[in-house]
Structure 1
Amino acid sequence: MADRATNEYLNTERAQNDPNDLFAALGKQVLGLSVKDGDEVPEDDRVRVVDEIESLCMNCEDNGTTRLLLTKIPFFREVILMSFFCEHCHFKNNEIQPAGKIQEQGAKYCLRLETMEDLERQVVKSDTAILRIEELDIEVPPGRGRLTNVEGILGKVHQDLEGSQQKRKKEDPELYQKIDGVVQPLIKMLNGGRFPFTISVDDPAGNSWIEPSVGEESTKGKYVIKHYPRSAAQNIELGLHGEVVSKDEEGGSMEDVDIVEGQTYDLPVACPGCTKPAHLLIQMVNIPHFKQVVISTTQCKYCDYYTNDVKTGGAIPEKGKRIWLDVKSKEDLSRDILKSETCLMKIPDCAVDVQPGTMGGRFTTVEGLLTQIRDDLRGSIFETNDDDAPPDSMPEAGKRAWKKFFDGLNKAIKAEIEYTILMEDPLGNSYCQLRDEPGKDPQVRIEEYERTAEEDEELGLTDMKTHLNEIGEYVKEPIKATNLES
């Protein structure tokens, strides 16, 4: 119904001849409708904010009307808003669909709500996403795509659960009590009486989203994004059927191969983006005063997919590690820095807060890491034009906040201001290059800290049993302390 109308529209002459204007932000589309007094503009020359297409009603099989709005969502990407109405049977249907392709990786967004303002954050749940209210163990399975806010999501779940409660109360009191035990806490969440609580959106297609705010530094773990490679089963569910890598493309096996430091190894893999044959380049690097790390890069010639990551090896240390780097001059921008995928990174002077898992592992320079943070945010927030202007649909307060944020980040990248970088890694796998012997660089401070029980649980260390005791049972491996300066 709506899907068919969407496909028909995207194949029209307007969509083919004017692709750059299809997804103008809503404010710009409205501006295109303004006409000076006394001017007569032909209807065909005006910007049409909403397109109407006659389409089949799947309820009564008569013709209804599908309305399409193609627009951009700030911080996100292009989407198609669809609304169907049949005047014959009065059937209605509203949906949202991502206008772009399936993303190269899946994405999971987690938000811990702490104030009433958090209920107003926008949420995009695509038709492939699973939404969870963690504290209530409620899961909304993949289905119709929605563009709403957190309050709207909670309200819809409440409406669905409450719908048949009166009937259940009479026919199945036990089931009524169980559902009421979920409905009442849900009502408190909607009224602001049960903070904090957490919602998550997990989308293997990478086309769902929860709205962030500037800095997102108020509470550790408040807003977390994790990108992940899809499994073979998820690719099949999304209609991405991988190609088999032939023997000619295998390029040999890593079995019985000694990995030599500094040598690059080329392995055939399936591209996480399009599942076609790609190349995984691996190299082992020894970082002075730290440890050996494995740097990997995946490249695909078919879809231009490119990503890099860094993995550290060795035993799990007994304690976590915190590193502070005081950046005071341009020379500090060239320091090597390794941020592992388990590392929390903060720059309080610039309102930067990178949660564990958000960027994966990165081994680069201070300048390179800050530049990547800036470019990733800029690409998702700014319009695709030369002015780098925030979307005109963004509130003025948001525009000012993001402008201030990027101005500060640009100054940090150029070392025009002094600031401090904090890296907190519960596995101690992050690193900052020293200008002198360990313990003698005045701009770098390192300390060990005891991991919390929550961190051990998240890292899977609580139940890790790899040591065989004297009676033949596997127990938790005793961890030996490591020397920071070794």
Structure 2
Amino acid sequence: MAEDKKPIFRNIDGDDPDLEATDIESACMNCFRSGRTRLLLTKIPFFKEIVLMSFKCEHCGYENSEIQSASEIQKKGVRIELTVQSAEDLNRRVVRSDYTSVSIPEVELEIPSQSQKGDITTIEGIIDRTIRGLTQDQENRKQEHPDAAAEIEAYVEKLTSLKEKQINFTVILEDISGNSFVENPSAPSLDPNCKIHHFERQKEQDQILGIYCPADITSAQESNDNTENSKSQQKHLLKPISEDAWGLDDLHGEVLQFQTLCPQCGSPCETNMKLTNIPHFKEVVIMATVCDVCGSKTNEVKSGGGIEETGIRFEVKVENKEDLTRDVLKSETCSLKIPELECEVGPSALGGRFTTIEGILVAMKDQLQDESFFFRDSADEESKKRMGAVVNKFDKIMALELKATLVLDDPAGNSYVQSLAEGDDIDEKLIIAKYERTFDQNEELGLNDMKTENYQE
């Protein structure tokens, strides 16, 4: 029965008596005798699903813990640039994958990707781990290579001064898998000290992650014998579909169904997909997923067309019940902002969806309330009160006790807000503005082949 099933990935909760950790026997890398490894599948709020691993050897006392991402590799890599200005910045939580490189330009520190295992730490923890690595075997080094030992000690002093003397510095994390994260203590407001940039991976970076384009696979297959290729293709579970196999006329009205994983708990479920047309807008692909295990219901909308020539920005005033019922198509590249609450949501936070103004507000409130660090036991009371006040203001907006403005900004131009005006009349509560994309916005959308002189700086 579905009610007897449990989600694969669950939040760490003291009230959950059945939180499952897998205990397996494994070899100790220190003494090579048998130890125990415990695996726990869980979720990080505002981030992704992860696997926590903890090892302990009862023979030599060796212990080790690490983290691995259980989420799929993201479509784009991520580059996070954080300016550290206070002790609060040093205490920011950081999640980094195996493919994350870390650099601090002020002290010429560079930690290459795949040189350390992924982990959950803080900015200060990254510095401390680097210091421990540099000072390892320092006593032997002083005897055998005194000059090198002196240089290392001088460099360690620089690293120590970064956290002890409160010197402003910059930490840059670049992750080609897109699965790294830095906590925003100002949430739901925009983080003033952190810049996040998503970039298209190069071919070599895709291959490091084990991602190969069809052209690479085809060229490799052509180098082998044609007969062996045909036998190999027959064994493939997924086979390519010719371009003319399905036309747009065939897809309209057709509901396609495929197996997928629940975005909330990771359990197997089914997703329904349909191509439809939104009046006065364009064709879109609607995907709906219902999970029988955790009860999660999600809908995602993707544009059926390409990227528009210009970006688009909507400003909607929410003052009465009619304003809450406006239809809204938010694409996966569209960011949201409510100036009255100093609340801003990035494009990937809520994904693409077709809903109403009220539906957008409910989704923003639920994500802040259900997945925020600030409602956990580890959060301080001041942070909890600040976040609680923001959530209460969402309730007041939906109860029409507080007037607000919802701003949708989509550089791809694939979002839409319904106008309540009839005919050619002007909707005074809806402002629509098209704009030329900046160079960075074009790069985020993967439009690297466009000429830079066409960009508006």
Is the pair's TM-score, using the shorter chain for normalization, greater than 0.5? yes
Say if 1:322 and 1:448, in contact at 8 Å, map to a contact too. Answer: yes
- Secondary structure at the counterpart of residue 403 of structure 1: helix
Q: Distance in 2 between matches of 1:24 and 1:222?
A: 31
Identity of aligned residues (%): 28
Say if 1:68 and 1:83, in contact at 8 Å, map to a contact too. Answer: no
Say if 1:74 and 1:394, in contact at 8 Å, map to a contact too. Answer: no
Q: Which residue of 2 aligns with 1:367?
A: 358
Q: Distance in 1 between matches of 2:182 and 2:443?
A: 25
Sort the Cα spacing of 1:429 and 1:95 in 2 relative to 1 into closer, same or farther, 3 A: same
Shift of 1:297: 0.7
Q: Which residue of 2 aligns with 1:118?
A: 89
Shift of 1:332: 0.6
Matched, 1:350 2:341: yes
Q: Which residue of 1 aligns with 2:286?
A: 296
Sort the Cα spacing of 1:258 and 1:67 in 2 relative to 1 into closer, same or farther, 3 A: closer
Q: Distance in 2 between matches of 1:366 and 1:132?
A: 40
Say if 2:307 and 2:412, in contact at 8 Å, map to a contact too. Answer: no
Shift of 1:153: 1.8
Unaligned runs of 5+ in 2: 1-7, 18-22, 200-205, 212-234
Matches within 5 A, 1:49-64: 57-61=28-32
Q: Which residue of 2 aligns with 1:155?
A: 128
Say if 2:101 and 2:112, in contact at 8 Å, map to a contact too. Answer: yes
Q: Distance in 2 between matches of 1:267 and 1:74?
A: 31
The partner residue of 1:212 within 162, 172, 184 is 184
RMSD: 5.5
Q: Distance in 2 between matches of 1:423 and 1:441?
A: 16
Shift of 1:209: 4.7
Shift of 1:22: 11
Q: Which residue of 2 aligns with 1:323?
A: 314
Sort the Cα spacing of 1:311 and 1:185 in 2 relative to 1 into closer, same or farther, 3 A: farther
- Secondary structure at the counterpart of residue 427 of structure 2: coil
Q: Distance in 2 between matches of 1:444 and 1:64?
A: 64
Note the alpha carbon deviations across 1:122-181, whole angstroms, 9 max, x for none: 1244xx64323367674332854533212212432455467699979x99x99x99x99x
TM-score w.r.t. the length of structure 2 is 0.65
Q: Distance in 2 between matches of 1:459 and 1:270?
A: 28
Say if 1:276 and 1:302, in contact at 8 Å, map to a contact too. Answer: no
Q: Distance in 2 between matches of 1:142 and 1:368?
A: 44
Amino acid at match of 2:356: T
Sort the Cα spacing of 1:275 and 1:268 in 2 relative to 1 into closer, same or farther, 3 A: farther
Matches within 5 A, 1:384-395: 390-395=375-380
Matches within 5 A, 1:85-104: 89=60, 92-97=62-67, 102-103=70-71
Q: Distance in 1 between matches of 2:419 and 2:315?
A: 12
Say if 2:328 and 2:355, in contact at 8 Å, map to a contact too. Answer: yes
Say if 1:105 and 1:272, in contact at 8 Å, map to a contact too. Answer: no
- Secondary structure at the counterpart of residue 341 of structure 1: coil
- Secondary structure at the counterpart of residue 404 of structure 1: helix
Unaligned runs of 5+ in 1: 1-18, 33-51, 237-242, 383-388, 466-474, 480-486
Q: Distance in 2 between matches of 1:454 and 1:421?
A: 24
Say if 1:262 and 1:285, in contact at 8 Å, map to a contact too. Answer: no
Amino acid at match of 2:364: I
Q: Distance in 2 between matches of 1:196 and 1:216?
A: 21
Matches within 5 A, 1:225-240: none
Q: Distance in 1 between matches of 2:11 and 2:393?
A: 33
